[in-house]
Structure 1
Amino acid sequence: MSGGARDERPLLMLDSGIGGLTVLREARVLMPERRFLYVVDDAAFPYGNWEEAALRERLVALFGELIAAHDPVACVVACNTASTLALDALRRAYPEMLFVGTVPAIKPAAERTRSGLVSVLATPGTVKRQYTRDLIEQWATKCEVRLVGSVNLAALAETYMRHGLVAEEAVHAEIAPCFVEKDGRRTDIVVLACTHYPFVVNRMRKMAPWPVDWLDPAEAIARRALAILPRIDGEGPVARDPDIAVFTSNRPDAVTRRLMQGFGLVA
């Protein structure tokens, strides 16, 4: 912005549940002067249960409503499933809006691996998406990439964040297919291709058969948002409206409200 003006429009972040809070956490570190609007599409949770065409249509319509109601400076689709499915459609539908997507961190994984064995841990929807396979073809042809579709891990992360408990055996069952041994080599990087997963990464480390680099994309997403947004003039903290959480169900339970408040969101 120029002339000392401050753009008070919020940066909108959307996920089907709590996963996008991992991105919000990083974005606040990089952009403390920004105001944030966190949208929980809990009326549609989990996205993995939707038919692709119906979910894409829902997301395009929902973002239209949110843009009209809140006039965000940009929108972050803080969900791999939604991004790999609908990001192109959103950009076509709202060409004047800046969108930042969340896609599997396959490029950095391919650059960092030493063994050449990389696993992508994602929801089944992200695993089957052509978008994901195109990323592998573009950036990771010199690696062996295993796509692991976890049916239950996002829900386990939601349970953990709401109640502080998670069955470690259940976590182990979800991550076990990520670990491959071949010709004396072992998987050395697991891409966390769902924003929910970092919430249970400590449990994953504990249950892993050997140490790996768990690649969390949250900081990279936040940095991408910072890069495309206009700069806000001025230094230091300023008085501004609080960050808020919006629930598409309009019926968040008390535990979820407290969780949002714990992240500094007015729910």
Structure 2
Amino acid sequence: MQSNNDALHVCVFDSGIGGLPFLKAIHQEWRGVTISYVADDAGFPYGTKSPEAIRDILFERVRRIRARLDPDILVISCVTAVQIGLKDLQAAHRPMKIIGAIPPIAQAARETQSHRIAVLTTARAAEDAFLDDMIARDAPEIDVFRIPAQDLVDYVEQHLPFAEQESAEAAVEPYIAYALEKGADRLVLASSHFVFLEEAIRHVITARGMDDVHCLDSREHVLSALRRFLFSEPAAEAANEGGFYLTGDRKPCPSYIAWANRFGTAVPELL
């Protein structure tokens, strides 16, 4: 475990803005750590691409991140990226610690009372063998329903920062209704973007009188993994701003600026 966080640099990487809640959670626990954020706006979305295309993108992006930012720890918050490339990236970049967001299917399997779990995923993640293996290992006696919700990723990325709460609730309602009709009492948010919709999902669940249904996401897994490397006590002073970077070659669109303002990060700049 690192005994002094002040000199450490953590980078959170996502296909878009989905990793910002992860960045916020890390900041809240380790104020002394410098954290950069990289949104792959040039590669977004991952959920509609082939595994080969995603793997090629990931290797190019991580190479650029190391060349430009040289972080000590890279957190990949995009679940699709983790499913497709985490092990290969860890093998190729051994000097840098790489942590991936893992959907909390094991936790959901422990907690469910109905023995039914719904997993909201991107289109690509729903088909990947990585999820098959997790379900077989962590929830062998549980009914697990995969619910591809690719359009919610696009909604969060471009529309949510300007939307009213009613709009967000309307966007998630069909997916949550399906999960509840299947009898699921644990909803695993297996995309970083879905974390932004947690409040809307909770409102839809409450409106249906289903208060025993709960959402789970990957933030606690990431924090737990980071605790192996970072000193657990927060620093007295906040860390230096690590920056917000985009992989494309254009200025940030209005939604990216809105998200940066909402999370109190620097104005996005090109990587």
**Same fold per superposition (TM over 0.5):** yes
Question: Could you tell me how far apart the structure 2 residues matched to 1:158 and 1:13 are?
Answer: 17
Decide whether aligned partners of structure 1 residues 148 and 6 sit closer, same or farther in structure 2, where only a CA change above 3 A counts.
Answer: closer
2:14 corresponds in structure 1 to: 15
Decide whether aligned partners of structure 1 residues 177 and 101 sit closer, same or farther in structure 2, where only a CA change above 3 A counts.
Answer: same
Q: Is the partner of 1:207 in helix, strand or coil? A: helix
Question: Could you tell me how far apart the structure 1 residues matched to 2:154 and 2:5 are?
Answer: 39
One-letter code of the match for 1:257? I
2:62 corresponds in structure 1 to: 63
* Percent identical: 27
1:114 corresponds in structure 2 to: 113
Decide whether aligned partners of structure 1 residues 5 and 54 sit closer, same or farther in structure 2, where only a CA change above 3 A counts.
Answer: same
2:218 corresponds in structure 1 to: 217
Question: Could you tell me how far apart the structure 2 residues matched to 1:213 and 1:6 are?
Answer: 34
Contact 2:101 2:221 in 1 (8 A): no
1:84 corresponds in structure 2 to: 83
The answer as to 2:171 corresponding to 1:174 is no
Q: Is the partner of 1:228 in helix, strand or coil? A: coil
Contact 2:6 2:34 in 1 (8 A): no
One-letter code of the match for 1:55? I
Decide whether aligned partners of structure 1 residues 159 and 176 sit closer, same or farther in structure 2, where only a CA change above 3 A counts.
Answer: farther
Question: Could you tell me how far apart the structure 2 residues matched to 1:134 and 1:28 are?
Answer: 32
Q: Structure 2 stretches of 5 or more lacking a match?
A: none
1:28 corresponds in structure 2 to: 27
Decide whether aligned partners of structure 1 residues 230 and 104 sit closer, same or farther in structure 2, where only a CA change above 3 A counts.
Answer: closer
The answer as to 2:203 corresponding to 1:202 is no
Moved over 6 A (4+): none
Question: Could you tell me how far apart the structure 2 residues matched to 1:90 and 1:80 are?
Answer: 14
Question: Could you tell me how far apart the structure 2 residues matched to 1:205 and 1:5 are?
Answer: 38
* CA deviation profile, 1:124-175 (whole Å, cap 9, x unmatched): 1111111111011111012111111112111222245421333533321233
Contact 2:9 2:72 in 1 (8 A): yes
Give the structure-2-normalised TM-score.
0.88
2:236 corresponds in structure 1 to: 236
One-letter code of the match for 1:82? A
Give the structure-1-normalised TM-score.
0.89
Instruction: Give the alignment of 1:30-179 within 5 angstroms.
Output: 30-165=29-164, 166=167, 168-179=169-180
1:263 corresponds in structure 2 to: 263
Question: Could you tell me how far apart the structure 2 residues matched to 1:7 and 1:205 are?
Answer: 37
Instruction: Kindly state the Cα deviation for residue 54 of structure 1 after the two structures are TM-superposed.
Output: 1.3
Q: Is the partner of 2:62 in helix, strand or coil? A: helix
* CA deviation profile, 1:180-207 (whole Å, cap 9, x unmatched): 44xxxx3110111111112112222233
Q: How many residues get paired? A: 260
Instruction: Kindly state the Cα deviation for residue 103 of structure 1 after the two structures are TM-superposed.
Output: 1.8
Question: Could you tell me how far apart the structure 1 residues matched to 2:17 and 2:264 are?
Answer: 13
Q: Is the partner of 1:179 in helix, strand or coil? A: helix
One-letter code of the match for 2:201? M
Q: Is the partner of 2:176 in helix, strand or coil? A: helix
* CA deviation profile, 1:104-126 (whole Å, cap 9, x unmatched): 11010011111101111111111
Question: Could you tell me how far apart the structure 1 residues matched to 2:92 and 2:6 are?
Answer: 24
Contact 1:122 1:194 in 2 (8 A): yes
Instruction: Kindly state the Cα deviation for residue 230 of structure 1 after the two structures are TM-superposed.
Output: 4.3
Question: Could you tell me how far apart the structure 2 residues matched to 1:80 and 1:111 are?
Answer: 21
Instruction: Kindly state the Cα deviation for residue 177 of structure 1 after the two structures are TM-superposed.
Output: 2.6
